[in-house]
Structure 1
């Protein structure tokens, strides 16, 4: 088959390498620097032939994409946004059939406990970056995923719509817990992506801690607004906040009171609050 069967055609498509695990150790000084990344690539372009006939002339193998990640890491990583852009530009600018590349990176956190010793496992937070490039300017986004946050008070939920199926009681004091996924798109790439990331993350934490929450939606908006105020290069923030419920346990059957100190941490199901906060056009 050299062309699609009449009545059928190929829609949007891409291919790439997912889950490329990369660990880089900077040994330039006795105080080593550890970077732990998972890289995902996705390429698209003039690839009709490989789908219709199996002609792979324009296909850059996914194994080659993996190898490129490791080769580019030889001289250092730098900011994950910059590393993703280096890869995306390389794939588009050197492979004739490739017109667009998307590179997404998750950075796994390690805590330093010595000059060459590190510990992990505190919450599983990831720093994220995604670059899309199709010639011209690259589109750059940064963010975090699975950032665990919890307020033990200063959170209410009341005044909500109630119908014949409502059993949830209103509360004027509750634990508010979530695992934040936040992504901010840059209108212009920051001069120092690492500083911009740290600034945005600090703004996120401050907004969560400072906001007296009447709903998780209110907290979502406060977080997005605070990030945009702190990082002028960011144009919008997309947020996903699962509500990690904590249920006050009834200890009365044991002859005990419970003045807001013993809770059951819920798992499934959970509320999921998602939204986007945008900077208005001037």
Structure 2
């Protein structure tokens, strides 16, 4: 029986980079968490300890910081694209590079009712995400870009039902025609282009996801996720696929009858675990190859 080395990659995870633009009296801030992963023929490093083809992870870190200044950090998609192309184009042993980025939003502090030019407070609705994968060089080079968000906690107090489900001897859940529906949404969308107004698309996609969650009268969280993804694809031809992951943040009606108090769907116990986890992808039937952006580096989302 032969024992061989399987797939391998390496990189520098979670480089916390803050880029402040000071070009004018009104400063701008971009706060990101950047992870790099490089693939290529690095077998010798594993099998014999030969590091001659290995670009140190510390060098990857230094490059990420340097590019925040040299290439700029206005949109995380464009910044990730610059980094990934550099590693593949300029470092011969690297055959593919994957850059994953999270962005933490800030909003300007209000001082005497006006926005301050160089003071911010953390804005915490969600974390913006992006990943860029570049594989190969020259005319054979292929690129995949995904945008996304995570930790978007969203709730609606009505307009959600759940009934008519399959039941067996262990089913105790009661059907309902009016329930609280809440989730902490993770969404990723796969682009068919390497050029876009990344910030505009992000804002637009987020607005669509929130709107569909609100306006779709839901018979199941699964139905809501499909309508959310469908609406994004209808709005943006440059997006081939949307992947959604939604933990069902359960809100159970609390029993106040023991106190002689009526609870008319008004007081709930928010239960954080265990939870249902609903995941789905919505895709164009003519969508191009997803490539390693989906298959080699990630699960459903």
Q: TM-score with structure 1 length normalisation? A: 0.95
Structure 1 residues 68-94: Cα deviation after superposition (integer angstroms, max 9, x where no partner): 000001142021011001001111111
Deviation string 1:151-177 (CA, Å, 9 cap, x unpaired) is: 111011011111111111011111100
Determine which of 38, 42, 45 is the counterpart of 2:40.
45
Query: Partner of 1:108 in structure 2?
Result: 104
Q: Equivalent residue for 1:78?
A: 74
**Equivalent residue for 1:213, pick from 213, 218, 226:** 218
Q: What's the CA shift for 1:28?
A: 1.3
CA distance in 2, matches of 1:194, 1:165: 48
Question: Pick from 225, 232, 237: which aligns with 1:232?
Answer: 237
Deviation per CA, 1:221-260, whole angstroms, max 9, x where unpaired?
A: 0111011111110000111000000011011111111111
SS at match of 2:117: coil
Matches within 5 A, 1:245-256: 245-256=250-261
Q: Is 1:171 aligned to 2:176, yes or no?
A: yes
How big is the shift at 1:210? 1.1
Give 1:28's aligned residue.
23
Residue equivalent to 2:4: 9
CA contact (8 A) 2:13 2:35 kept: yes
Question: 8 Å contact 2:30–2:74 — kept in the other structure?
Answer: no
CA contact (8 A) 2:185 2:244 kept: yes
Aligned to 1:161: 166
Q: Report the CA distance shift for 1:190/1:197 in structure 2 as closer, same or farther (over 3 A).
A: farther
| Residue of structure 2 in register with 1:3 after alignment | none
Task: Please give the root-mean-square deviation of Cα atoms over the aligned residues, in Å.
Answer: 1.3
Secondary structure at the aligned position of 1:104 is classed as: strand
For 1:202 and 1:67, the matched residues in 2 are separated by 35
Q: Distance in 1 between matches of 2:198 and 2:124?
A: 24
Answer yes or no: is 1:138 the counterpart of 2:143. Answer: yes
- Whole-angstrom distance in 1 between the partners of 2:283 and 2:48: 45
C-alpha separation between the residues in 2 aligned to 1:263 and 1:190? 46
Name stretches of at least 5 consecutive residues in structure 2 with no aligned partner. Answer: 110-115, 288-301
* Aligned structure 1 segments of 4 or more residues deviating by more than 6 angstroms: none
Q: Is the 8 A contact 2:84 2:133 kept in 1?
A: yes
The CA deviation at 1:189 is 2.7
Pick the aligned partner of 1:186 from 191, 199, 215. Answer: 191
Conserved 8 A contact 1:190-1:196 = no
Q: Which runs of 5+ in 1 are unaligned?
A: 1-5
CA shift at 1:111, angstroms? Answer: 2.1
Q: CA 1:273–1:247 in 2, change beyond 3 Å: closer, same or farther?
A: same
Give the Cα–Cα distance (whole angstroms) in 2 for the partners of residues 41 and 20 of structure 1. 9
Q: How many residues align?
A: 276
1:202: which partner in 2?
207
TM-score, structure 2 as length reference: 0.89
**What is the distance in 2 between the residues matched to 1:281 and 1:41?**
30
C-alpha contact (below 8 Å) 1:199/1:231 kept by paired residues: no
